[in-house]
Amino acid sequence: MAERCPADHVQDSCFGPENDISGPLHPSLTKSRSRTEVTKLVYIGGYGHSGSTLLEYLLAASPKVVAFGEVASVLRERGRKGKCTCGREVRLCPLWGPLLASAETLDGMTHERLARALVAQDGGAHAVLVDSSKTAWHSAAVPFSLARELGPDFRLVHLVRDPRAVSWSAVKKSGRRGTRPLMPLRSGSAALGWWVANLACERFGRLYPDRYLRVRYEDLARAPAETMRRLFAEILPGSEWRPGDIGGSGNRHQLYGNRMRSASLSLAEVKEDTGWTRDMPPAYRSLVTALTAPLRRRYGYD
Ligand SMILES: [Zn+2]
């Protein structure tokens, strides 16, 4: 069970419409709600291409969880059209629709205020909200401000993956987009980004050890049920993660993220992507191997 705030005394660390979300709000966010349940915000940190969409997908197997995808991308790109992963048009999504009904609603809104607005919009229906914005470059500082603002109800899940796999995935993505491969540059850039994103999480873990958890993509992909049960026990003590609930879309509202967010996946289909060990040219593999030591070894990637 999620912790609860005393009904007559909403603590600073509690979310909800009782909290200050200063500035103009969409009318749907100003209606009063009676909920007092504490909702935890789980932020997935780390670099891109590390399996955050898979982790978010598996977290959302629990009906206690609501997944919002990459919230930072919503703030950055605005004006999202098309469908939410809940299956509705964005404007009809009960969680994003009111927030994105007008271009002005997000004006001046910080990541922290948007997180609070989303939880207010959820109205206490879920015990855990997941934001998979990660900690690359412009988002590296976000977990720190969220932790300061939200207190003990914030958790950072630091997702790490072998930097050679990350780098190769980034190179392949640029190829799919039709841009010139520039492999040495892209490999090096991904290695640097991997450092920045992971060091941000490492620093967070030193500052807030009780709000920090680390998961390796390889462990998640090789033993998803076991890894998720362990993780879930830390995030929501007393709650059980059940693989049979995977794939329900009623609690997934991801506007941005890997294409997998829209797929239907069963636990048996979760497989580690090891294509880089076969396809990555040795020269670039050596380059990333050299650039990422010793942090790479800290996570067990020899
Ligand atoms: Zn939705």
The DSSP annotation for 105-135 comes to TTTT--HHHHHHHHHHHHTTS-SEEEE----
Question: Does 12 have pLDDT greater than 50?
Answer: no
Cα(139) to centroid(ligand 1), Å: 23
Question: pTM value?
Answer: 0.84
Question: Does 264 have pLDDT greater than 70?
Answer: yes
Question: Does 10 have pLDDT greater than 90?
Answer: no
Confidence band, pLDDT 50/70/90 cuts, at residue 20 = very low
Question: Does 11 have pLDDT greater than 50?
Answer: no
The CA distance from 69 to 130, in Å, is 7
Question: Does 226 have pLDDT greater than 60?
Answer: yes
212, containing H or E segment: strand 212-216
The CA distance from 206 to 203, in Å, is 5
pLDDT of residue 180: 57
pLDDT of residue 77: 82
Measured N-to-C along each axis, helices 163-176 and 183-207 cross at an angle, to the nearest 10 degrees, of 130
> pLDDT tens digits, residue range 71-127?
999 988 876 678 899 989 999 999 999 888 887 888 888 999 999 899 888 988 999
Q: What is the mean pLDDT of residues 247-257?
A: 82
**Cβ 128 vs Cβ 52: under 8 Å:** no
Cα(91) to centroid(ligand 1), Å: 9
> pLDDT tens digits, residue range 40-64?
999 999 999 999 999 999 999 999 9
pLDDT of residue 185: 81
Cα(93) to centroid(ligand 1), Å: 4
Buried b (16+ CB within 10 A) or exposed e, 197-212: bbebbbebbeebeebb
Cα(59) to centroid(ligand 1), Å: 16
pLDDT of residue 84: 92
Locate 3 and state its tokens: 């912790």
Across the chain, mean pLDDT equals 83
- Cα angle 296-301-302, degrees, rounded to a multiple of 5: 100
Cα(151) to centroid(ligand 1), Å: 27
Cα(281) to centroid(ligand 1), Å: 40
Cα(136) to centroid(ligand 1), Å: 25
> pLDDT tens digits, residue range 122-146?
988 999 999 999 999 889 999 999 9
> pLDDT tens digits, residue range 186-195?
888 899 999 9
